[in-house]
Structure 1
Amino acid sequence: MSRMTPFASPLLLGFDTMEKTLERLAKGNDGYPPYNIERMRAEVAGEPERLRITLAVAGFSDEDLEVSVEENQLVIRGRQSDPGERQYLYRGIAARQFQRIFVLADGMQVDGARLRNGLLSVDLIRPEPERMVRKINISVSD
Structure 2
Amino acid sequence: MLVKFHGLQFDLPAQWADVTDDLPEGSPPTLARPSGVGAIQFTTAVYRAGLKPDVTNQDLRNLVVDFCNRLSFRPGEFEERTDRLISAGCVVAGTDDLTAVWYVSNGRDIALITYSGTGWGEPSKFELCQARQIVATVEFDVG
TM-score, scaled to structure 1: 0.32
Which protein is bigger by CA-based radius of gyration?
A: 1
Work out which structure has the larger RCO, using CA pairs closer than 8 Å and 6 or more positions apart in sequence: 2
TM-score, scaled to structure 2: 0.32
